[in-house]
Chain A
Amino acid sequence: MLNTLFLLPVILYFVASALQISALVFKKDVLKKLALIVLAASVAIHTAYIVARGVAAGRVPMSNQFEFANAFAWGVAVLGLFFRLRYRDTMQWMVTLCAPIAFLIISYAAQQPREISELMPALRSSWFVLHIGSAVFSYAGFALAAGIGVRYLVIEKKAEEKTLKQMDRLAYKFIAFGFLMLTVVIISGMIWAEQAWSTFWSWDPKEVWALITWIVYAVYLHNYLRMKWRGGRMAWFAIIAFIAVMFTFVGVNKLMSGLHSYA
């Protein structure tokens, strides 16, 4: 039952992506509307899956690669859908971004072991939800900013100045949001580590890569806010910076061992 519920959003994110891309190719508004409806349905079912898995596990389901990737995909879809509905006139293209990104991430999740396991004692903490939950939204913000960067570069030559400016600003907002959330991740992680391992910081690879990611986006934000960098180079910046996010999430777990190896 849970497996079926998981496979539904995988398929629906793909269908939403296909519909939205078809809408762009064939210039049919009805396909766009359909893509939005499918995306909304997918988010609803995905939410139901996360709740059902949480009930079955007796905890918040965000403790291993599968669960985190699954929540990450959900975060991307929720953020994208929120912006699409909140700014319905100017952000119709948001579905073009969030549906394929959510599909790619949930596809990665689908390749991970899905068994529900008991939380190890160190993870049984009230900090767990804040630490991992903020990571989900932080990564989702960075993923959407990178997606906007890709779109910016694709349409840069033919789009109006106003559209480009709007995308530039939106990428900044997603990164600012992601950065604030990443700061919450690091701070809550430090407080939690002090309670569990008696030390705020252990120079564990995951911790160090979270710091590196934080620095990369701090540089982005300084350049945006103080140096007034805009346009193509900031789009490239958002894309390249996202590599640091993905390495922190996947690379560290696959290539390095440390205190976060279970994640």
Chain B
Amino acid sequence: MKKVLGFLRSMRFGMLLLVLIALLSILGTVIPQEQTLEAYQAAYGRGAYAIMAVGLDHLYSTWYYIGLYILLGVSLLFCSVLRFGRVKRAKGALLQAAERAEPLQGFRAADPGAVLGRHRFRRCGEGYLRNGLGLYGSFITHLAMLLMLAACACVFALEVKTDYAVMVGDEVTLEDGTVLHVDDFAMESEGKLDYVSTVTAVLPDQTVQSGTLRVNEPKRFGRYKVYQQSYAYAGQLDIRTAADAKDERVTLDSAAFISLDGARGVSYMGSYGSYIRTADGDVLPPGFGDQQGEPVDAYMIAVLDGENQEARLQPVDETFEVAGVYYTFRSPMAYPGLRVKTIPAPVMPALYASFALLLAGLYLCFFHVPVAASVRGDGVALKSPKDIEALEDALRGQSETTRTE
């Protein structure tokens, strides 16, 4: 049991896990993820079955890949939290080691304490200590990694994301009764391409909040965070049941058959973007032949009128009649795709705390080298877990200055 624990907290085990994670990750970038069997067959032939069998098609969610992170968490737990006692004693141990260390050769000063003070050493018990916080750098770094792994696991396991395509003027009701109403959507802001949704939210307690969503600017409404995630175009069709009747606007976000009697009408297949209307009135794809003309939005439709069936490109703003019903397609309307996300409250602060701790820990590890000093008469002995040759040279130089003075 002791041997197992020793292995789990050893650096070699941690390194082994990191190397395995790196190697598997390389595999995950070489083999495209989340593809169909047909796509793998096309790329790897019979190897496709092996890829699917061992889960290399979704490597990052396989049990063995996640398992490596769990083991890494265990390793971090052993080399951080469970070593807290040793970390607590580190300062005392370093000062004691300095007392036992050989004196620094070439250093002589009438007042060694003053020289050490000029080099940012502080009195600590019987000895002197410089950059004492650096002793905790490694501990803080590993603790931060552990916290980050735990917080990331919570994020992946507990966050709930749902995508909604909402037309301008429409609304969507979320799980707890919050209503999101899309007031406006624009694809340009200050003359630049942008995706901007103006949203009003009515929370369950009837509080009304509104805000503007951009790609990099999600907004929080109650317990939801709402993102400007995507956009799409919907067809717009005005329908009149008689020549002098009032138009009724229909929004089409997918293929549909529009008919009064269920037999004769218009089959809508989708928006086809900008086409070119020639001088003859024909609607052609841009660059078709050498035709020149004005760009015009067009839809692909099929007109079903009894025996007659005709598929065609239908330009906007042209009215046509099928079985006594008048149809006029209008320019497509852009609408936003909103992503609504929830994460349990404590997870995000924990994750951000782990980020800050990690950076602080690394800084202390690398650039805040702890050094203990012990004064012996007119000499000093130094001890540090890291290379301190530059400091030793500087102290020797200082010692000469002191003698000159």
* Chain A contact residues, CB within 8 Å of chain B: 118, 120-122, 124-125, 127, 165, 169, 173, 176-177, 179-180, 183-184, 187, 190-192, 195-201, 203, 205, 208-209, 211-212, 215-216, 218-219, 221-222, 225-227, 252, 256
Q: Is the beta-carbon distance between B359 and A177 smaller than 8 angstroms?
A: no
Chain A residues with Cβ below 8 Å from B194 are 121, 124
Among the stretches B166-174, B197-205, B361-369, the one at the interface with A is B361-369
Is residue B396 contacting chain A, with contact meaning CB distance below 8 A?
no
B341 to A198, Cβ gap below 8 A? yes
Given the known A-B contacts A169-B387, A205-B29, are A227 and B11 also in contact in the complex, defined by CB atoms under 8 Å? Answer: yes
Q: State the CA gap A221–B215 with chains docked (Å).
A: 38
A120 touches B193 (CB 8 A): yes
CB atoms of A195 and B18 under 8 A apart: no
- 24 A-B pairs with C-beta separation under 8 A: A122-B215, A124-B194, A124-B215, A127-B216, A176-B365, A176-B367, A177-B366, A180-B359, A184-B359, A191-B355, A198-B161, A198-B218, A198-B229, A199-B161, A201-B152, A203-B28, A203-B33, A211-B22, A212-B25, A215-B21, A222-B11, A225-B386, A252-B29, A256-B29
B372 within 8 A of partner (CB): no
B40 on interface, CB distance cutoff 8 Å: no
Closest 7 pairs (CB-CB, A-B): A176-B366, A125-B216, A121-B215, A215-B22, A205-B29, A198-B227, A187-B355
Structural contact, B18 and A218, CB atoms closer than 8 A: yes
Q: Give per-residue flags for B151-181: 1 if the beta carbon is below 8 A from chain A beta carbons, else 0.
A: 0100100000100000000000000000000
Q: Which residue on B lies nearest to A175, using beta carbons?
A: B366
**A127 CA / B192 CA spacing, docked (Å):** 19
Other than the given A180-B359, A215-B18, 16 more pairs (CB < 8 A) read: A118-B192, A118-B193, A124-B216, A173-B366, A176-B367, A179-B366, A180-B362, A198-B225, A198-B341, A203-B28, A203-B60, A208-B25, A208-B28, A218-B18, A221-B366, A222-B15
Cα–Cα, bound, A219→B17 (Å) = 11
Chain A positions within 8 Å of B341 at CB level? 198
Per-residue CB proximity of B377-394 to A under 8 Å, as 1/0? 000000000110100000
Complex-state Cα separation, A226 to B229, whole angstroms: 45
Q: Which residues of B contact A (CB under 8 A)?
A: 11, 14-15, 18-19, 21-22, 25-26, 28-29, 33, 60, 152, 155, 161, 192-195, 214-218, 225, 227, 229, 339, 341, 351-352, 355, 358-359, 362-363, 365-367, 386-387, 389
Q: Which residues from B are CB-within-8-Å of A180?
A: 359, 362-363, 366-367
Question: Which residue on chain B has the smallest CB distance to residue A182?
Answer: B362
Residues of A within 8 A of B25 (CB): 208, 211-212
Option from A122, A176, A212, A227 in Cβ contact (under 8 Å) with B22? A212
B contact residues around A121 at 8 Å (CB): 192-195, 214-216
A200 to B156, CA, bound (A): 9
Bound together, the chains give a CA A219 to CA B22 distance in angstroms of 11
Residues of A within 8 A of B15 (CB): 219, 222
Q: Contacts A180-B359, A200-B152, A215-B19 known; A195 to B29 CB distance under 8 Å?
A: no
Residues of A within 8 A of B227 (CB): 197-198
- CA A215 – CA B14 in complex, angstroms? 11
Q: How far does the alpha carbon of A218 sit from the alpha carbon of B22 in the complex, in Å?
A: 11
B195, B351, B387 interface centre (most CB from chain A within 10 Å): B387
* Least Cβ–Cβ distance between A128 and chain B, in angstroms: 9
In the bound assembly, the distance between CA atoms of A191 and B18 in angstroms comes to: 23
Collect the chain A residues with CB atoms within 8 Å of residue B358's CB: 183, 187
Q: Is the CB of B216 within 8 A of A219?
A: no
Shortest distance from the beta carbon of B27 to any chain A beta carbon, whole Å: 10
User: Which residue on A lies nearest to B386, using beta carbons?
Assistant: A225
Q: Residue among A165, A173, A190 with the most chain B CB within 10 A?
A: A190
A104 nearest CB across to chain B (Å): 25
Measured CB to CB, the nearest residue on chain B to A165 is B389
Distance to closest chain A CB from B61 (angstroms): 9
Interface centre among A118, A177, A198, A218 (most CB of B within 10 A): A198
Contacting pair B19 A219 (CB below 8 A): yes
Residues of A within 8 A of B14 (CB): 222
C-alpha spacing A212/B2, complex, angstroms? 32
**How many angstroms from the CA of A252 to the CA of B193 in the assembled complex?**
27
Set of chain A residues within 8 Å of B28, measured between Cβ atoms: 203, 208
In the bound complex, residues from chain A placing their C-beta under 8 Å from that of B365 are 176, 225
Tell me which residues across on chain B come within 8 A of A199, comparing CB atoms.
161
* Residues of chain A contacted by B216 (CB below 8 angstroms): 121-122, 124-125, 127, 192, 195-196
